[in-house]
């Protein structure tokens, strides 16, 4: 049972478990609370259809969310980043992104730190602290919903490798997608992995049928070993993706974080096209977002220049791939891809 300063946490529980916890209150109170949490209520006092004495009693006995929001940072482009300090002092970050048409996406974290050590990622540089529990994962969504109102999509692309914490991720997603909830469709949830074969297989066999994105970065295996040292070998990853596609019928996104002078060569385009052959994929190019102190084999990493990006995009297009480029969002608040890393303590 997740706790906040000793009090049981209510957010991200299924309504039946809420009812048990709130006993002897009648069952309809659990449904009211559940509904408020799913609308993004920030405190018990926001729950205006509950009597005042009951709100006071609930505040004494329970907490709505685990941890505390230590910072709410806003970029002029509309991106919002929450830094949440958990009960044990570790930090995680969650980001709200808004696209050109006003659609909002919640980017959520699944681990405090990350064990994968991808060399271009701030979270990877922190090392691994621990897996988040389902309440810590789901609560990021509810807190962002309190800010955003409607959220169209969820991406598990924040801190951590989601497929190394699949059990808690499933529990969190079950509360978001379940019948009593707002019924968020798993098809609007994307899980991004750097290539954990056992996790992809598990997801394919046991669901839910999330959309899948592979943080490929390069399909040149030798280079990939140096950039994403803990990811599984590409032939096994490709076979797991092929199976996932067979099981779900879904298109898979191949994400390529572009590092200036490192993975933007013609041979990177060729390798990517070879990897994509036989799969139904879209390629998403993500120009690297600067993180101070990150380097590759003795040299600081640098952003790709406009010419490098355009050339790679052109080569990939000529090779028959469907390519999009990710817009840069949230850079001024360290909320862009690869920049998350609330400093863990303890
Ligand atoms: S890119 Fe993802 S998997 Fe790799 S270190 Fe960063 S958070 Fe972990």
Instruction: State the SS3 of 180-191.
Output: CCCCCCHHHEEE
Supply the pLDDT for residue 346: 30
Catalytic residues: 93, 337
Domain that holds residue 169: 68-333
Is the torsion defined by CA of 294, 158, 209, 256 positive or negative? negative
Distance 148 CA to ligand 1 centre (A): 26
Distance 35 CA to ligand 1 centre (A): 33
Orientation of helix 234-248 relative to helix 197-206, angle to 10° = 10
Q: Are 267 and 220 spatial neighbours (Cβ–Cβ below 8 Å)?
A: yes
- Nearest atom in ligand 1 to the alpha carbon of residue 158 is 7
Q: Which residue out of 194, 255, 339 has the highest number of ligand 1 atoms within 8 Å of its CB and is therefore the one to mutate?
A: 194
Q: Does residue 344 belong to any structural domain of this protein?
A: no
Average pLDDT over residues 22-44: 93
- For residues 256 and 139, state if they share a domain: yes
If you take atom 4 of ligand 1, which residue's CA is the nearest one? Answer: 118
* Nearest residue to 291 (alpha-carbon basis) of 340, 258, 327: 340
pLDDT tens-digit readout, 313-334? 999 999 999 999 987 788 888 8
- Nearest atom in ligand 1 to the alpha carbon of residue 122 is 6
- Among 26-30, 85-89, 289-293, 325-329, the range scoring the smallest mean pLDDT is 325-329
**CATH number for 36:** 1.10.150
Q: CA 211 to CA 71: how far, in whole Å?
A: 30
Distances 311 to 45, 48, 255, 284 between C-alpha atoms, Å: 55, 56, 17, 15
Supply the pLDDT for residue 281: 98
pLDDT tens-digit readout, 190-235? 999 999 999 999 999 999 999 999 999 999 999 999 999 999 999 9
pLDDT tens-digit readout, 230-283? 999 999 999 999 999 999 999 999 999 999 999 999 999 999 999 999 999 999
Q: Does residue 343 belong to any structural domain of this protein?
A: no
- Nearest atom in ligand 1 to the alpha carbon of residue 159 is 7
**CA angle at 337 for the pair 13 and 241, rounded to the nearest 5°:** 75
Provide residues with CB under 6 Å of ligand 1. 114, 116-118, 121, 123-124, 159-161, 194, 215
- For residues 50 and 90, state if they share a domain: no
pTM metric for this prediction: 0.94
Residue carrying the six token digits 């979270």: 123
- For residues 145 and 260, state if they share a domain: yes
- Nearest atom in ligand 1 to the alpha carbon of residue 111 is 7
Structural domain ending residue among the three candidates 61, 78, 97: 61
Distance 161 CA to ligand 1 centre (A): 6
Q: How many structural domains is the chain composed of? A: 2
Distance 129 CA to ligand 1 centre (A): 13
Cis omega (within 30 of 0) for bond into 24: yes
């Amino acid at each position: 049972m997740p706790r906040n300063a000793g009090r049981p946490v209510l957010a991200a529980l299924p309504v039946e478990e809420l009812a048990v916890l709130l006993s002897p209150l009648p069952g309809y109170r659990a449904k009211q609370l559940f509904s408020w949490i799913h609308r993004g209520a920030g405190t018990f006092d926001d729950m205006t259809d509950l009597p005042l004495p009951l709100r006071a009693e609930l505040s004494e006995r329970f907490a709505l969310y685990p941890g505390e929001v230590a910072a709410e940072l806003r970029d002029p482009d509309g991106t919002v980043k929450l830094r949440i300090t958990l009960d044990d002092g570790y930090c995680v970050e969650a980001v709200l992104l808004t696209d050109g048409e006003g659609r909002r996406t919640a980017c959520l974290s699944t681990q405090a730190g990350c064990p994968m050590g991808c060399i271009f990622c701030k979270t990877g540089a922190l090392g691994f602290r621990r897996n988040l529990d389902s309440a810590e994962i789901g609560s990021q969504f509810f807190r962002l919903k309190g800010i955003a109102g409607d959220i169209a999509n969820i991406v598990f692309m924040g801190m951590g490798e989601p497929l190394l914490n699949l059990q808690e991720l499933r529990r969190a997603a079950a509360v978001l997608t379940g019948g009593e909830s707002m019924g968020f469709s798993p098809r609007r949830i994307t899980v991004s992995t750097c290539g954990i074969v056992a996790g992809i297989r598990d997801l394919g066999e046991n669901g839910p049928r999330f959309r899948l994105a592979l943080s490929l970065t390069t399909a040149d295996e030798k280079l990939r070993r140096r950039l994403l040292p803990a990811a599984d070998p590409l032939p096994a990853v490709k076979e797991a993706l092929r199976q996932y596609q067979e099981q779900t019928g879904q298109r898979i996104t191949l994400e390529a974080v572009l590092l200036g002078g490192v993975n933007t060569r013609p041979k990177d385009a060729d390798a990517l096209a070879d990897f994509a052959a036989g799969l139904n994929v879209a390629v998403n190019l993500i120009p690297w977002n600067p993180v101070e102190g990150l380097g590759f084999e003795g040299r600081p990493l640098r952003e790709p220049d406009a010419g490098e990006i355009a050339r790679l995009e052109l080569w990939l297009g000529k090779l028959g791939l469907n390519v999009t480029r990710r817009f840069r969002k949230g850079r001024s608040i360290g909320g862009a891809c690869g920049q998350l890393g609330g400093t863990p303590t303890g």
